[in-house]
Amino acid sequence: MKKYILSAILFVLIFSSCSDLEELNINPNNVPETHPQLLLTNIEWNAFQVEGVDPMFASRMVVQTDGENSNQFYNWTRAGFDDYDQLRNVTKMIEEAERIENTAYIALGKFFRAYYFFRLTLTFGDVPYSDALKGESEEVYTPAYVTQKEIFTGILNELKEADELLSDDNSIIEGDIIYDGSTTQWRKLINSFRLKILITLSKKVSDSDLNIESNFAGIYNNSSIIESNEDNGQLVFVDELGSRYTEYNSSSYGSARYMDSTFIKRLQDRHDPRLFIFCGQTRVAKETGLAINDFTAYEGGDPIAPYNDVNLKAADGLVSKVNLRYTTDPTTEPHTFIGYSEMELILAEASVRGWITTSAQEHYENAVKASFEFYNTNASDYADYVSETAAENYLQESLVDFSSATSDEEKLQLIMMQKYIPSFLQGGWRMYFDHLRTGYPEFRINEGLTPPTRWMYPTSEYQENSDNVTEAITSQFGSGNDKIRVTPWWLQ
């Protein structure tokens, strides 16, 4: 992986340093050619990164003590269109793949288009899609916005096309740092992503245009999907400059960031040993000499309390910090976009909803075992706490045991909790969006407040694409109603 990353960086540096010469000596209408593998490495590295702690504030996992964090208190405003910068690289990779007639890179280009447009539409609602990224090729500089329904339909079609392109291509994909070039495993991830998108649209199951239930069952029954931790769509870090874990040596985990009390209590109530992997003991617990596996050695801060109240509690040594392994271990753990545990929970939910006929309990238990196995492998200092036996025992806990659920709603609550717990520094905003969709797990929120359902469009759109963004707001939410608590199509 180091070789691929350094090659991609070198490619960027060469073209950056030669920009002056190009302006003088090269026709500006001619874009330099390169092999798509150099672009792929950089695209993968950026796409599969840890998304930081902002989602963890919103999903009630961490709290801040030196000021009011907008994600923790649900008062954010705008987000940016930075994903379009990444999509420009994806577009260039597809163009270069078409030039050399390499279908594998075209297929991965379609995957990453789906990846980024999925993120963009969940963040904002309607966004430019069909006309986007055509400034260079067709001089479209003010792209029209497309409805969420059209975007979801489009990215599902792109993923289907990606799978079909790879079905007849057994070549090794050079520059691939996710699956080391395996088209077989890429097809599993692509099809798993299709299922992830369809479960995200669970509120739209009655839309006959989408055929969500039948499409889900068709993919599950006829396509290859992730079926073990070996198939995880994940970025593995190595202890080399430029290839280390995203949060390694991060200063943001200093004196002001602590664990959320509601997250810790959920782990304590379930006697969940993953608590020891995510959290550090309180200072008082350490001084008292409590064992790492003593559940009383961990405590968090109230996410809705004034930040200074939590700060005073932390100063008394009564609040846990994020486990130091996340900032002191350069390889820590892979960051997973879609893994086996999540895939099994998606299937468990689909089974509860009646979309497929397999056992929801079996999928659920497979997911828990897969999560324990992931940490047994990647958090070796804590391996004994997350062994196979530990997983079996955990599944018998009263708040975990699937057989104790007497209704579909109770089953859904159990499934979403097991999606939630291992999303700690994994999967970005995935769990927050799942909460918006299902209501589970419940988040501690100030009375009278509701979680935001989106972000406002960036100011730059009002400056550079005013007519189209204004029309998109009006058609979705009403004139001038670009607000964070209006309901986008996918949640209606």
| 270 plus 419 within the same structural domain | yes
pLDDT given at position 1: 52
Structure tokens belonging to residue 57: 């504030």
Phi-psi region of 443 (alpha: psi -120 to 50; beta: other; left: phi over 0): beta
151 residue type, one letter: I
Per the structure, the complete domain to which residue 441 belongs is given by: 48-77+244-455
Does the residue 83 lie in any domain?
Answer: yes
- φ/ψ of 48, rounded to 5, equals -95, 10
Map tokens 């979801």 to a residue: 152
426 and 332 together in one domain? yes
Are residues 379 and 475 both part of a single domain? no
- Residue 141: inside a domain, yes or no? yes
**200, 297: one domain:** no
Q: Provide DSSP, 371-390.
A: HHHHHHHH-GGGGGGGSHHH
pLDDT at 474: 99
Asked whether residue 177 falls in the same domain as residue 139, the answer is yes
CB atoms within 10 A of CB 378: 20
| C-alpha dihedral sign at 195, 197, 199, 203 | negative
Domain-embedded: residue 25: no
Residues 166 and 213 occupy one common structural domain: yes
Instruction: Provide the 3-class DSSP secondary structure of residue 234.
Output: strand
Among 433, 441, 445, smallest CA distance to 491 is for 433
Residue 316 lies in a domain: yes
* Domain CATH code at residue 71: 1.20.120.840
Residue type, 346: I
- Residues 397 and 297 placed together within one structural domain of the fold: yes
Q: Is residue 23 part of a domain?
A: no
Whole-number pLDDT of residue 69: 96
Residue 90 and residue 113 in contact, taking contact as beta carbons nearer than 8 Å: yes
> Do 476 and 352 share a structural domain?
no
**Model pLDDT, residue 287:** 98
Question: Domain with 491 in it: what CATH number?
Answer: 1.25.40.390
Q: Which phi and psi angles does 419 have, rounded to 5°?
A: -80, -35
CA gap 11, 467 in Å, rounded = 38
Tens place of pLDDT per residue across the chain (492 aa):
544 444 444 444 434 444 343 333 444 444 578 999 999 999 999 999 999 899 999 999 999 999 999 999 999 999 999 999 999 999 999 999 999 999 999 999 999 999 999 999 999 999 999 999 998 889 889 999 999 999 999 999 999 999 999 998 888 999 999 999 999 999 999 999 999 999 999 999 999 999 999 999 999 999 999 999 999 999 999 999 999 999 999 888 877 999 999 999 999 999 999 999 999 999 999 999 999 999 999 999 999 999 999 999 999 999 999 999 999 999 999 999 999 999 999 999 999 999 999 999 999 999 999 999 999 999 999 999 999 999 999 999 999 999 999 999 999 999 999 999 999 999 999 999 999 999 999 999 999 999 999 999 999 999 999 999 999 999 999 999 999 999 999 999
Q: Would 155 be classed as within a structural domain?
A: yes
Domain count, the chain: 2
Residues 139 and 249 in one domain: no
What is the per-residue pLDDT for 252? 80
Kindly state whether residue 367 falls inside one of the protein's structural domains: yes
Tell me the DSSP string of 120-171. Answer: HHHHHSSEE-SSTT-HHHH---SPPEE-HHHHHHHHHHHHHHHHHHHHT---
Q: Map residue 233 onto helix, strand or coil.
A: strand
Residue 239: the pLDDT is: 97
Q: Quick one: pLDDT at residue 136?
A: 85
- Whether residues 143 and 260 fall in one domain: no
Q: What is the pLDDT of residue 271?
A: 99
On whether both 270 and 321 belong to a single domain, the answer is yes
Distance CA(308)–CA(82), nearest Å, equals 33
Closest CA relative to residue 115, chosen from 140, 86, 138, 139: 86
Same domain, 310 and 413: yes
pLDDT of residue 12: 44
Residue 147 belongs to a domain: yes
Contact by Cβ (8 Å): 332, 247: yes
Residues 6+ apart with CB under 8 A from 235: 44, 45, 48, 49, 177, 178, 334, 335
